[in-house]
Structure 1
Amino acid sequence: MATELTWLGHATFRLDTEAGTRVYVDPFLNGNPKCPENERSPERCDLVVLTHGHGDHLGDTVDIAKRFDCPVVAPVELRDWLTAAHDLPEANDQSPNKGGTVSFAGVRLTLTDANHSSSNWQDGKIVYTGEPTGVVVRQDGGPSVYFAGDTNVFGDMALIRRLYAPDVAVLPIGDHFTMGPEEAALAAELLGAPRVVPCHYGTFGLLTGTPDALRPLLPAGVELIDPAPGETLTL
């Protein structure tokens, strides 16, 4: 079985690994205007991965976790908040911090830095949910995928290249809340991944960056893979 990556609109992805593990990254399904209707109720899930606590990334995490009794890997403060505020089981093995690696169902997840913010609402107040992260997803015999999360470009993306050499880089390009196409092109250069998948664009009016704006800015030899919402890529 090949590794398959399905974009579900905004920054939400489903990753099906070589071994058949199904991973949802930042599962903002219901309320996501770009998520296809037939994708809003997952048929199965083996693992949820969160990059930070904003509602457009946390999304349906709690419902999915309780429905499928699956692990939720998230930065430590966010994972602890999910236990305290949403009654997910306490699980220290699911709450790494930046630089930490955890493994579930044949998938290794390493949290990386990201330059953004992370918060959510609780009892009518904004609560801190830790620092934002990116995540590198690795599997034996399959491609490695770097999900940058919400971020701008930063020089230490070169360290992600050196340490993890991702085969695919999933980068936000919408601008305003994250980097836009110009910064994303530099991120691609620093990361050295041969393939780039854009995300976090077109969902709302403020997110004006587009794949067409990114494409001519990418380094020579970097392939831009631009799926439609609901489209599955074979990596």
Structure 2
Amino acid sequence: MKSLARLLLALAVAALLAACAQSPQPSQPKSGGKTEVLWLGQSAFRITTPGGKVIVTDPWLKLNPLTPAEYKNLEALGKVDVLLVTHGHFDHFADAPALALLNQVPMYAPGDMNQTVGVLGILPPNLVPRFNKSGTINPVPGIKVTAVHAEHSSVIVWKNPATGKDEVHPGGEPVGYIIELENGFRIYHMGDTGLFADMKFIADYYKPDLVLMPIGGHFTMDPVDAAYATREWLKPRAVIPMHYGANPLGKGTPDEYIRALGSTSTRVLALKPGEKAIF
């Protein structure tokens, strides 16, 4: 009788273990998962990470002539988990406050720029955290963002509601961002920048896999400058050209960049606004 009881108990335990093994387990982000990079014109991107987080950069969407019509509605971006702004110029900052309020997420930007945004009351203090070049943040678990140098300028033009007049306020110093995702994939969003020799240091130290690179000229690198930076200093696996075509002064084109680049191991992904690249 005791032997039979022990046998029945053993069978029950085995059945329980088998049921547990077959039960659905919570899904976890997998190392080596896919990253989706959607270009929305100028320097605006929606990056969906291997863990399903959504990162939005430099959201100038409503008035950007290149933004696909559906994305002029900010809610079409879905739930935004991380919001990054490289500097205070309108074509990078314009829709960031609205996105921060819509999603109740902090707007990460140059420290002194966010100081101005908070003092002017554009966003409440809890949505304007401050950090600066070489500073690293973990805005959500698994994501790491480091601010790096950009050779540009930054001001905020703000319409004073009391006077109805535009005012120019300090926008801090512009930055680029090294964005490291859950699986270690690294994206270098250069922001607006001209050439500077420490691009080589950034490449050597942070080793970005993908570079989001301005090529339009006039306000940033033109195609020849961008090709030099790619070939001589950065040497990434892939580049997505940006910051061209939305302003008549941004005349550079991906074709000009590719011709200037010549033979290289870097893959150039010349997206149209609304197109995605998968990594």
CA distance in 2, matches of 1:153, 1:20: 34
**CA contact 1:113–1:134 (8 Å) conserved in 2:** yes
- Greater RCO, CA 8 A, separation 6+: 1
CA distance in 2, matches of 1:95, 1:34: 30
3-state SS of paired residue (2:273): coil
TM-score, normalised via structure 2 length: 0.81
One-letter amino acid matched to 1:95: R
CA distance in 2, matches of 1:86, 1:32: 25
1:107 aligns with 2:143: yes
One-letter amino acid matched to 2:154: S
Aligned residue for 1:39?
A: 71
CA distance in 1, matches of 2:253, 2:172: 29
Q: How does 1:204-223 map to 2 (within 5 A)?
A: 204-218=247-261, 220-223=264-267
Aligned residue for 1:181?
A: 223
CA distance in 1, matches of 2:184, 2:44: 21
CA offsets 1:13-70 (integer angstroms, 9 cap, x no match): 1111111110110011110000001012233211110100000000211111111101
Aligned residue for 2:108?
A: 73
The correspondence for 2:157, drawn from 121, 139, 149, is 121
Inter-CA distance 62–25: structure 2 relative to 1 (3 Å threshold): same
Give the deviation of 1:142 after TM superposition: 4.1
The correspondence for 1:153, drawn from 178, 195, 218, is 195
Over the aligned positions, Cα root-mean-square deviation in angstroms equals 1.5
1:61 aligns with 2:96: yes
CA distance in 2, matches of 1:138, 1:86: 31
1:89 aligns with 2:121: no
One-letter amino acid matched to 2:66: K
CA offsets 1:91-118 (integer angstroms, 9 cap, x no match): 4983211011001122111011011000
Aligned residue for 2:50?
A: 18
Aligned residues: 235
Percent pairwise identity: 34
Aligned residue for 2:13?
A: none
Give the deviation of 1:84 after TM superposition: 1.9
The correspondence for 2:269, drawn from 187, 212, 225, is 225
CA distance in 2, matches of 1:31, 1:20: 28
TM-score, normalised via structure 1 length: 0.96
Give the deviation of 1:87 after TM superposition: 4.2
Give the deviation of 1:173 after TM superposition: 0.4
100-109 vs 82-91, which moves further: 82-91
CA distance in 2, matches of 1:153, 1:103: 28
One-letter amino acid matched to 1:215: I
Aligned residue for 1:50?
A: 85
The correspondence for 2:209, drawn from 167, 174, 191, is 167
The correspondence for 1:136, drawn from 178, 183, 186, is 178
One-letter amino acid matched to 1:61: A
CA distance in 2, matches of 1:25, 1:86: 22
Say which structure is richer in strand.
1
